[in-house]
Amino acid sequence: MLIIEISLQLSGTLYALITNKKLYNNVIYNEELLWFGKNNINDRVNIERVSSQYKESGLYSLRRNSNYMMIVCNNLDHRPSQMDGLHFDLWYKDFNILCDSGTYSYANNYDKQFTMIRNHNTVQVENLEQMKKIGQFLCYDWIKCKTLKAETNEFNGILISNNGRYTHHKNVTVTEDGFKILDKVNAKEDYQNCYLYLHTPYHTEIQNNKIIINNQKEFECEIVFDNMIKIQKRSTFISLYYYEKIEATEIKIENKFRNRKCEFSYEIKIKSNGG
């Protein structure tokens, strides 16, 4: 989420300096304009936001109406530092409903947890990380990611983990009011459990195979699973800004391997609460 906000700030600043018009109304995204003394720009350009593919960076966006999903599927040429292969962020308008845990700090041991799989919205096999880690930043046995399909209304990608000897295949399709997601894991070894982690700063309820996340004034998000799974939640922290953290909810969805295969099939529906 921090990377997205920095990107929005930079793009908004450059656009405003060149055109004398704002890209965004949100004061957070316009913070740099204040530093440049450009607090008198009132006109805002209206640019249609569409699904986009940034293959070089391995970032993909899917949009419909006010719903927006960002998916990470990249092969890095330099050292990776986070276990975020096939992670996704979910937004409704300016509300980051599902997010990663951020960075917090590079200066102490506490922040190590922020780099691990369970602090991203992706799948974990048993207690394995996607890669083997050395010290604070370095990894080896790097994951390999490949985008199989990236279109306006669908994303299809695969992750290969040498550390766990498994593949994670993610398919996302856009619906009228949200997204349908299928996460399929195929392992070369015998494992018992597979987990899908999700993180949100908003109020969360669990009802059987359904997760409800809401901001009463703005939205309600339902995540409904097709298969039999176990859902738990616990309090955690996310870091929106360096060396700052806020309370949030970690949602842990558990399923079993059968014949070295496991999957999570679910649909996300978002509706406005009139805000």
Model pLDDT for residues 69-89, shown as the tens digit of each residue? 999 998 877 766 678 999 999
State the pLDDT at residue 8.
65
Q: What is the mean pLDDT of the segment spanning 268-275?
A: 88
Residue 17 has what DSSP assignment? H
Reported confidence tier of residue 212, pLDDT bands at 50, 70, 90 = very high
Strand, helix or coil at 11?
helix
Strand ranges in 111-177 using DSSP code E only, listed in sequence order: 123-125, 132-134, 138-140, 144-150, 154-161, 166-175
- What percentage of the chain has pLDDT greater than the value 90? 58
Q: Which two tokens stand for residue 74?
A: 């990249």
Alpha-carbon distance 16 to 18, whole Å?
A: 5
List Cα–Cα distances, 40 to 19, 30, 34, 113, in angstroms.
Answer: 13, 12, 9, 42
Reported confidence tier of residue 197, pLDDT bands at 50, 70, 90 = very high
Strand, helix or coil at 115?
helix
- DSSP assignment of 32-78 equals HHHHTT-TT---B-------EEETTTTEEEEEETTEEEEEE----SS
Alpha-carbon distance 24 to 127, whole Å?
A: 41
- How confident is the model over 101-152, as pLDDT tens digits? 877 666 655 556 677 899 999 999 999 999 988 876 688 889 999 999 999 9
**Planar angle of CA 241, 38, 245, nearest 5 degrees:** 10
Alpha-carbon distance 53 to 155, whole Å?
A: 10
State the pLDDT at residue 217.
87
State the pLDDT at residue 79.
65
Tell me, what amino acid is at 203?
H
Q: Which two tokens stand for residue 143?
A: 């994951």
Does 11 score more than 90 pLDDT?
A: no
CB 113 within 8 A of CB 100: no
Name all domains of the chain by residue range, CATH numbers in brackets.
1-47 (no CATH), 50-272 (2.70.98.70)
- How confident is the model over 154-172, as pLDDT tens digits? 999 999 999 989 999 999 9
Alpha-carbon distance 268 to 173, whole Å?
A: 10
Residue 22 has what DSSP assignment? B
Looking only at the bridges linking them, the beta strands covering 203-207 and 193-200 are unpaired
Greatest Cα-to-Cα distance within the chain, rounded to the nearest angstrom: 63
